[in-house]
Amino acid sequence: MKRQETSASTAARKDRMESSSEEILHVVELAGNSHVGTSKETPMRKDAFELSDQEKIEQIADKFKDIMHILGMDLSDDSLSGTPKRVAKMYVQEVFQGLNPANKPESKLFDNKYQYGEMLVERDITVQSYCEHHFVPILGVCHVAYISSGKVVGLSKINRIVKYYSKRPQVQERLTEQIAEELKSALNTEDVAVFIDAEHLCVSTRGVEDTGSSTVTTHYSGAFKKKSVRKEFLTYVRAKG
């Protein structure tokens, strides 16, 4: 009887361990589906830029050709034969160009000669990024505000900063923080606010296939930590016309 009880106890312990392992795996899967990022910095290898853009295009084209072949596509067809090269060029030169620091926009500052001391808000900046978990688009808008510390920047530079950090595989939380940190550094002020509202095609076109939802992320620092200042910013964001 004692031996039987020991065997039963061992079996129960094994079942608990297997159940626990399944729960851990489930949590990990949920983390991926929930777009949890690991760092403010985009994960990159140290040798990320040893290959030239052209070398990357050639290698990606070869790999993508293999993917299409495995899927059963006929690469001898006129419509498909150039697809691997087109996808490779799109990845390197367009949608992921923000991975390369050489493409980072320069932010030239000017003296705030007109002594403008209120917040400046740039609304509805286009966000076109890619989910790093499924490599499908993230599409939305970014609203940015800052209060000058004595310097101002050309308006187009704000848009270019948003574009630069968007053009890489991303999670929206990291994208929000990267834009905010770059703006604070470029503008030499902590008084910065960032608001992103975006649709994730990994949600709308796969998995749950929910086409009616969007994701909002924010960053408030400096003066924007004050409820009244933040409220003013959000009023401008929501105002139309």
143 counts as catalytic: no
Cα–Cα distances in Å, from 72 out to 59, 66, 90, 161?
Answer: 20, 10, 22, 40
Catalytic residue (choose from 131, 170, 199, 219) = 131
Catalytic residue (choose from 134, 173, 181, 190) = 134
5 counts as catalytic: no
Coil, helix or strand at residue 193? strand
CB 129 within 8 A of CB 138: yes
φ, ψ of residue 168 to 5 degrees: the values are: -165, 160
202 counts as catalytic: yes
φ, ψ of residue 155 to 5 degrees: the values are: -60, -40
Looking at the DSSP bridge assignments, the partners of residue 169 are 130
200 counts as catalytic: yes
Catalytic residue (choose from 35, 142, 182, 200) = 200
Catalytic residue (choose from 143, 170, 172, 199) = 172
132 counts as catalytic: yes
Catalytic residue (choose from 35, 132, 170, 178) = 132
3-state helix, strand, coil split of the chain in percent (to 5) is: 50, 20, 30
CA dihedral 7, 9, 14, 18 (to 10 degrees): 140
Catalytic residue (choose from 177, 178, 182, 202) = 202
* Tokens 């996808």, residue located: 87
142 counts as catalytic: no
CB 187 within 8 A of CB 119: no
Show which residues are catalytic: 131-134, 172, 200, 202
